[in-house]
Every structure is written in structure tokens, then in C-alpha cells.
Amino acid sequence: MRLGAPRDLDELADSVRSGTAELGITERGAANRGLTEVHLVEQELFAVSPPGSSSTRLRLNRLAGVPLVLSPTGSSLRDVVDIALADAGVRPDVAVEAAQRDALIPLVLAGAGTTFLPGTLARAAGQLGATKRATSPRLRRTIVMIHRPDDPGPAAKRFVELALT
């Protein structure tokens, strides 16, 4: 088994389509057109703010002018946030754009701004001193495993079975 780190959802789906990768773990969406999606989990994203921030639910329509620490445009997390903010009528104030997701929590802890992370990462950030809070409306995405429409090979098939247990 080989694990890769594609730049975006399209690159991952193209890798699976071409056979470079047998499976991919991504979010449900148009990039996966022509591939089989196997539902894994509904994932909620939480706002993660610098230490000492309010712990009340973060209303997305009140984020105008609030510095944000986000992943690059076109990334999975960024797409969810950009769509939600547009729906709320807010233009994001991106203070820092970090291509490395591992940099988001240290930047928030240093006071650079608020980011949005899946629950496990948001909880970890909270244990380090950041403020984790739910958003209104809630931010969610569907995580799926993708493969070509034909049956995956034996190892990939077993991986899918294990992922679903």
C-alpha cells in the first residue's frame, strides 16, 4: 500500500481514474464523477480560535473583518468554508493562507486568527489552549472512499471492508 498527498480533490480523483491509485479518501463531490463513492462518515467542522476567545457558538454571518487562517483556495476544507461564508453573505478576511494543514493550529495558537477543522483536530487544538466552538449554521462534509467502477483488487477490497467496520 502506498499513501499519497494530492494537492486537491481533482488530482486525487484523477489518480484513481488513471489507476495510479486504487483507492482515495476524499469528500463527496463533482470531482468524483465516474467513480464509485463508498460513504465513510459525515464530518462536522468546528471553528478554532486563539486562546481566550469567546466559547459561544460562532455565527458565520458575523465573521466580516475577523482574521481567518485558512488552507488554500481549492482545498477540501477551504471549499466548505468559502461556500458557507458566501451563503452567509460574508467575504472572508484571510489573514494567513497555509498550504500545510499542520500549520493551522500553531498559527491559531499564536493569535493569527480563526480556522475551521474537523472534530478530532479541533479537540486536539483545544487541548493545546485554542478555543473550539460549533458554528451556526453547522459546517459539514461527507467523507467517502472512491475507486473505479470495476471491483478493486483484493488488498483494496479488504481495506474498504476494514474502513467500514
- Mean predicted confidence (pLDDT) in 140-165: 89
Q: What is the pTM of this model?
A: 0.86
CB atoms within 10 A of CB 105: 21
Half-sphere exposure of 148 (CA within 13 A, CB side): 13
Q: Give the per-residue pLDDT at 157.
A: 87
Alpha helices in the chain (DSSP H): 9-18, 76-87, 104-109, 119-127, 154-163
**Residue 52 pLDDT > 90:** yes
Q: Give the per-residue pLDDT at 3.
A: 64
Q: Give the per-residue pLDDT at 67.
A: 98
* CATH code matching the domain that covers 1-165, chosen among 3.40.120.10, 3.40.50.300, 2.60.40.1180, 3.40.190.290: 3.40.190.290
Q: Which three cell numbers stand for residue 158?
A: 479488504
